[in-house]
Structure 1
Amino acid sequence: MNALLDPAQLATALPGAVRKLDPRALLATPVMLVVEIGAVLTTVLAALDPSVLGWSVTAWLWLTVLFGNLAESVAEGRGKAQAASLRALQSETTARRRTAGGHLEEVPSTALRVGDLVVVEAGERIPGDGDVVEGVASVDESAVTGESAPVIRESGGDRCAVTGGTTVLSDRIVVRITSNPGQSFVDRMIGLVEGSERQRTPNEIALNVLLGALTAVFVVVCVTLWFVADFAGAPVPVLVLAALLVCLIPTTIGALLSAIGIAGMDRLVRRNVLAMSGRAVEAAGDVDVLLLDKTGTITYGNRRAHEVLEVPGVPRADLVEAALLASLADETPEGRSIVELLTPEQSDAALPAGATLVPFSATTRSSGFDAGERQVRKGAASAVGGWVRESGGTEPPALLAAVEQVSASGGTPLVVAERVGDAPARLLGVVHLKDVVKEGMRERFDELRAMGIRTVMVTGDNAVTAAAIAAEAGVDDVLAEATPEDKMRLIRREQAGGRMVAMCGDGTNDAPALAQADVGVAMNTGTTAAKEAGNMVDLDSDPTKLIEVVEIGKQLLITRGALTTFSVANDVAKYFAILPALFVVAFPQLDVLNVMRLSSPESAILSAVVFNALVIVALIPLALRGVSYRPGPADALLRRNLLVYGVGGLVAPFVGIKLLDLVVSLLPGL
């Protein structure tokens, strides 16, 4: 409890709790509004007829309202503390904006608008959210994600998005700005963690309606008791009835309800997941099916060179040198991965003097170099095979077998060939490109399966490639050759079957599915369109983070259910603990129910009021931390809920009120 409610945190939250005493601020929480009305009433009655009981009850009723406000204020304060650290990213910087004529002009970052092109070099801060349109660079995103390892951002593909306030560590990039001042990703994040845009979820609204109904019922009960007691010749003071009403209505959950919702979103932010609404957090707790885009989600964003397979009779060194040098002009991520793979094997490889690099193009589907009479090409099997045949060369069966082997495993074969002078070109071997599954995927999918969540990989790849990746990653099902429309149809079909669907993706082609899914988690490395379509953004771009998202969603629902169970059971216990003591004089038959043997009606009601206030404070840490979630069947969770919080809610008032009664009965004047 000390870690969650240290004195400094309470001191910061207390002014906000006092401001929330404004009745207009309590309109959204009818239970606490009734408590405040009761506090006002007892204040007036105590002023008109001063007594120890009157002023004691009044003080503790006001403390009850204050403690209820304190829970929400502490939860909001934790979010504001995070927002304060994020504001450090927003310090104005000078940006070098490219003009229509190609010149660079220095402007403040606040002057940038959507569509502007800015140049950012090593050591400079990116002035605003955008997409890389030229170049590739290493970027430090630790200020946003908390991860110290730099990430690569490059033009094209699904790893082009950059966030304002992050720092370029190497190279030079040109960024197209995608948000106006005040509308950046960090701005939206600050607004969300501060709770300024937090809307109540349907579950929360429904629970508020239930609490309001219970409050109305107990108002009727207390009014009825006043008439019954008066009729029996033992009238109960209005002050006592007001205090009794506050003790019987569900003040515990009423006070903590908002704090639970805010804390749920706060726990997501602490795990680097930005939820756009509380509704998304709740929906995550009920997810049955998870769809994951393959590229950039299950696998790394681009295929990487895995190995080289030489044709029999060709020295491996010849193939490695040719593939390495032919990739120097290939600026695609795949080409760079070949250089990365083979450089350690031939670090001294160098282009011949006067060599001309042949860059990769979509037309030729190959790259390479020309050096005198020597020509080397590397590219798609059909493209390079055609180049070899045009020179009079042939494709040996061993190479065709290697190409088929790579394709059957779900990889992409790149063929390497060379030609010297007028001699026919010869094929040297194959570079095996493969989708590399991110580390730990199979283990995390096993965890999802244990939670009852079925995983489906969706990809535009052919069925063979998709099946190979799915088997390696350990997903339950796969949808191959999927178009955006196919993904939408799959999600709608699952939803029509009554299942809650979550979707993880990072590309523009994932945007429709992210918007359709009940929980759409966009990777922060993805495109702007994907992040706008989803209702959550994972700042770490880890698709298995959904495990934590689901756990937090379930934790939110379980916490709300547990504290509701505790509060209702609490009220039942207080009902049977207090009423016999209050009315035993008028109805001696009730003495058999007075099991607590409270000292007097006055000490009974004051002890109950004090307990009612203190139990809110005692449960604030639990509301903020959340009830722990352990995967298991729903009936087991319900049983634990009833045994721990139901029984606990029944027992706690009997013990607490009795102990308080022993102390309160010592007060003079009672």
Structure 2
Amino acid sequence: METKQRVSAQAPAWRAALWQSVIKLDPRLLLRSPVMLVVELAAVLTTLLCFWPQEGVSLGFSIQISLWLWFTLLFANFAEALAEGRGKACADSLKAGTQGLIARKQTAEGGFEPVAAGNLRKGDVVRVEAGELIPSDGEVIEGIAAVNEAAITGESAPVIRESGGDRSAVTGNTRVVSDWLLVRITSNPGESTLDRMIALVEGAQRQKTPNEIALDTLLIGLTLIFLLVVLTLQPFARFAGGELPLIYLTALLVTLIPTTIGGLLSAIGIAGMDRLMRLNVIAKSGRAVEAAGDVHVLLLDKTGTITFGNRRCAAVHKAPNVSLHVLSEAALLSSLADDTPEGRSIVEFLQQQNTSKLPQRHEVEAIAFSAETRLSGADWQGHRYRKGAVDAVLRFLSLTPEQMPAPLAREVERIAQSGGTPLLVSMDDQLLGAIQLKDVVKPGIRERFALLRQMGIRTVMVTGDNPLTAAAIAAEAGVDDVLAEATPEKKLHRIRAEQAEGKLVAMCGDGANDAPALAQADVGLAMNDGTQAAREAANLVDLGSDPTKLLDVVQVGKELLMTRGALTTFSVANDVAKYFAILPALFSGLYPALGALNLMQLHSPQSAILSAIIFNALIIIALIPLALRGIRLSALDAVQLLRRNLLIYGLGGLITPFVGIKLLDELLVAMGVV
């Protein structure tokens, strides 16, 4: 991760950003930012006015106004170019890794032929051996191998990828470090994870989000209003028997329109996406990031998110009149074909205690786990061995909870109340006993949930465990609500119920059974090593496959919205001081009573106008670090947060230009510039 961040940090070279600032002066590019397009038109007009001096306006003053307007535009472009530049080196590095890559594609006859990786299509099958790069995104259909995903996730430790289950997905440009894999390609050229990463960091396909569009509409509206206001000032001046120089009116327009937020809006959005990229999360749309900032409810899987997810077999507890040997043998047989970490832990635990000769995995008829039955097991020598959730096994045996032997029922309840997970084991129609699995809550997760609660976000733990187990884990983790014995239908119903109440819902998942809920959620975060169905359904994909990343995504979304809101407040508040700087300067000669509005006691109309123009340019470059870094999220509720931001960026935006314009006025006069 650190290597990737260093590469990203080196990317925004300020020299390249300066050159891009000049390129972005192209009016066709500025059409995306109407406010800055108005500034460019004003700069062009003032430049032309330098060749046609107006009465009472010196050439030197006109040149200074023109130059500072161009600087204002360049500073705004510089902010955007600096934000975009952060991903350039990373994109170049990713591209370099795929150039000239040759894959071994399976032919119709079953052999393999070398083809360029760029010519692979969805559905093609390739063989990748130790030391070779996986040419594109795909699903492992045969083999098991360790894969180094550092090029994508930044994590150096290899991960195991194998066919079947929810960990069969592989990502292009990652390297197989042991054994071999047969991979079915799941993306066409230009659609892979690597391609999406490159497009994201380059900003080539970044579209404006709904929030940006709404803010742009507001800025355009304010610009039109101030344009109409400025156009009416000349008739007023003539009515009073005077004349206002056109360059004064142009300068007034630029200082009154919301140039600060207009110049930084694009940079804020790009920097927000960059912060998301640094988390190794790909956003399929900016809308998902914004929605994350407004989320009311978080649905989080217990396993792997709230807990470490490495539940292990700790003990087996037999039912009355059942030997421990029979229970252990049945539990082991029912877990032979279970590829989950829990299943493997049961096999490891019981093999140490069972010396009987048992069949190999391929000798039994495996019964795969189903989200509907919540059972798994095996059929062998005419017997049916099953294990699963308590209610699922009881339902399979046509038993009610009351019919469970009392000693076993007490043991199951004890396991659940202690935060463990009980699994029942059966052979044919006989209940044999229970398996105890233990899970561990991640350290610090309770504090993170407390922070979310302070921000008004409710957390819901989703688990397939029984209600008692779920309640014990939930109490330890500090979540607000629990969805126990969760099926795909239950998850979907819960999300729809929350949305029906007007709430935005976020969820993370990795399995095919999570796909419906991921598609329904306003923010769906899929694990990159999960199933293809989950990745396609979600609007965010975590390349590092860390379910807790959803909490970080919410934080980035909130920081993005807070940064826009704060700088918009600052920009609008700035205008108040400019009224007291320029309007008295323009009209004090025509309407002497307006001299009372010169609260800053500026020396002359020329120094007032030039000071306001210079401040307007410098404040943009002063706020670039804040726009790129974003406003950090703090543990405050919405009311406290609003109050704090109004105090800092509202009152601060009001006071800062009074101080800044006055200091610039004194400096310009002292230097003899005006």
TM-score, normalised with respect to structure 2:
0.84
Residue 176 (structure 1) aligned to one of 141, 159, 184: 184
Indicate the larger mover: 466-475 or 648-657. 466-475
Residue 252 (structure 1) aligned to one of 245, 260, 282: 260
Residues 34-73 of structure 1: pairs in structure 2 closer than 5 A: 34-49=38-53, 51-73=59-81
- CA offsets 1:333-360 (integer angstroms, 9 cap, x no match): 35533455578x68xx9998x9977644
Structure 2 residue aligned with 1:616: 620
What is the rounded CA distance, in whole Å, between the counterparts of 2:478 and 2:262 in structure 1?
44
Residue 152 (structure 2) aligned to one of 122, 133, 144: 144
Residues 425-504 of structure 1: pairs in structure 2 closer than 5 A: 432-433=436-437, 441-459=445-463, 463=467, 467=471, 470=474, 473-504=477-508
What is the rounded CA distance, in whole Å, between the counterparts of 1:607 and 1:479 in structure 2?
61
Residue 32 (structure 1) aligned to one of 23, 33, 36: 36
Matched, 1:528 2:536: no
Structure 1 residue aligned with 2:629: 625
CA shift in 2, pair 1:235/1:463, >3 Å: same
Matched, 1:13 2:17: yes
Structure 1 residue aligned with 2:649: 645
Structure 2 residue aligned with 1:332: 339
Indicate the larger mover: 182-191 or 53-62. 182-191
1:311 to partner: Cα distance? 9.1
- CA offsets 1:398-420 (integer angstroms, 9 cap, x no match): 88987887689533245799xxx
1:248 to partner: Cα distance? 1.3
1:485 to partner: Cα distance? 3.8
Do the aligned residues in 2 keep the contact of 1:158 with 1:296 (CA within 8 Å)? Answer: no
Q: Amino acid of the residue matched to residue 332 of structure 1?
A: D
CA shift in 2, pair 1:513/1:90, >3 Å: same
Aligned residues: 642
What is the rounded CA distance, in whole Å, between the counterparts of 1:17 and 1:172 in structure 2?
48
Structure 1 residue aligned with 2:397: none
Matched, 1:362 2:373: no
Matched, 1:602 2:602: no
Residues 189-228 of structure 1: pairs in structure 2 closer than 5 A: 189-228=197-236
Residue 411 (structure 1) aligned to one of 409, 422, 429: 422
What is the rounded CA distance, in whole Å, between the counterparts of 2:639 and 2:332 in structure 1?
63
Structure 2 residue aligned with 1:421: none
Do the aligned residues in 2 keep the contact of 1:357 with 1:369 (CA within 8 Å)? Answer: no
Indicate the larger mover: 400-409 or 562-571. 400-409
1:138 to partner: Cα distance? 2.3
1:441 to partner: Cα distance? 4.6
- CA offsets 1:634-662 (integer angstroms, 9 cap, x no match): 22111111111111111111111111112
Structure 1 residue aligned with 2:574: 570
Do the aligned residues in 1 keep the contact of 2:423 with 2:434 (CA within 8 Å)? Answer: no
1:96 to partner: Cα distance? 2.9
CA shift in 2, pair 1:102/1:48, >3 Å: same
What is the rounded CA distance, in whole Å, between the counterparts of 2:608 and 2:667 in structure 1?
11
Q: Amino acid of the residue matched to residue 287 of structure 1?
A: V
Do the aligned residues in 2 keep the contact of 1:459 with 1:479 (CA within 8 Å)? Answer: yes
Do the aligned residues in 2 keep the contact of 1:379 with 1:414 (CA within 8 Å)? Answer: yes
Structure 1 residue aligned with 2:82: 74
Coordinate RMSD, CA, aligned: 3.9
Residue 188 (structure 1) aligned to one of 185, 196, 200: 196
What is the rounded CA distance, in whole Å, between the counterparts of 1:187 and 1:170 in structure 2?
26
Structure 2 residue aligned with 1:390: none
Structure 1 residue aligned with 2:3: none
Structure 2 residue aligned with 1:422: none
Indicate the SS of the match to 1:47.
coil
Indicate the SS of the match to 1:632.
coil
Structure 1 residue aligned with 2:126: 118
What is the rounded CA distance, in whole Å, between the counterparts of 1:443 and 1:102 in structure 2?
55
- CA offsets 1:568-614 (integer angstroms, 9 cap, x no match): 11011111122223322222222222222212111111111111101
Indicate the SS of the match to 1:175.
strand
- CA offsets 1:609-629 (integer angstroms, 9 cap, x no match): 111101100001101111121
Indicate the SS of the match to 2:365.
coil
1:561 to partner: Cα distance? 0.9
CA shift in 2, pair 1:124/1:298, >3 Å: farther
1:28 to partner: Cα distance? 2.1
What is the rounded CA distance, in whole Å, between the counterparts of 2:257 and 2:606 in structure 1?
19
What is the rounded CA distance, in whole Å, between the counterparts of 2:487 and 2:519 in structure 1?
15
1:464 to partner: Cα distance? 5.7
- CA offsets 1:416-470 (integer angstroms, 9 cap, x no match): 99xxxxxxxxx99865456676665545434433332222234556656655655
1:293 to partner: Cα distance? 4.1
What is the rounded CA distance, in whole Å, between the counterparts of 1:5 and 1:357 in structure 2?
50
Structure 2 residue aligned with 1:274: 282
Indicate the SS of the match to 1:665.
helix
- CA offsets 1:160-209 (integer angstroms, 9 cap, x no match): 11101112233332221101222211101211222222221222112111
TM-score, normalised with respect to structure 1:
0.85
What is the rounded CA distance, in whole Å, between the counterparts of 2:367 and 2:279 in structure 1?
44
CA shift in 2, pair 1:464/1:133, >3 Å: farther
Matched, 1:99 2:107: yes
What is the rounded CA distance, in whole Å, between the counterparts of 2:531 and 2:8 in structure 1?
37
Structure 2 residue aligned with 1:420: none
Indicate the SS of the match to 1:137.
strand
Could you tell me which runs of 5 or more consecutive residues in structure 2 were left unpaired when the two chains were aligned: 1-6, 369-375, 394-403
1:145 to partner: Cα distance? 1.1
Indicate the larger mover: 635-644 or 455-464. 455-464
Do the aligned residues in 2 keep the contact of 1:251 with 1:567 (CA within 8 Å)? Answer: yes
Q: Amino acid of the residue matched to residue 229 of structure 2?
A: V
Q: Amino acid of the residue matched to residue 453 of structure 1?
A: I
- Percent identical across equivalent pairs? 60
Structure 2 residue aligned with 1:590: 594
Residue 288 (structure 1) aligned to one of 276, 283, 296: 296
- CA offsets 1:373-419 (integer angstroms, 9 cap, x no match): xxx9986499x9xxxxxxxxxx99988987887689533245799xx
What is the rounded CA distance, in whole Å, between the counterparts of 1:92 and 1:6 in structure 2?
26
Indicate the SS of the match to 1:242.
helix
What is the rounded CA distance, in whole Å, between the counterparts of 1:642 and 1:356 in structure 2?
69
Q: Amino acid of the residue matched to residue 246 of structure 2?
A: V
Structure 2 residue aligned with 1:555: 559
What is the rounded CA distance, in whole Å, between the counterparts of 1:356 and 1:232 in structure 2?
102
CA shift in 2, pair 1:178/1:299, >3 Å: farther
Indicate the SS of the match to 2:44.
helix
Structure 2 residue aligned with 1:424: none
Structure 2 residue aligned with 1:162: 170
Could you tell me which runs of 5 or more consecutive residues in structure 1 were left unpaired when the two chains were aligned: 371-375, 385-394, 418-426
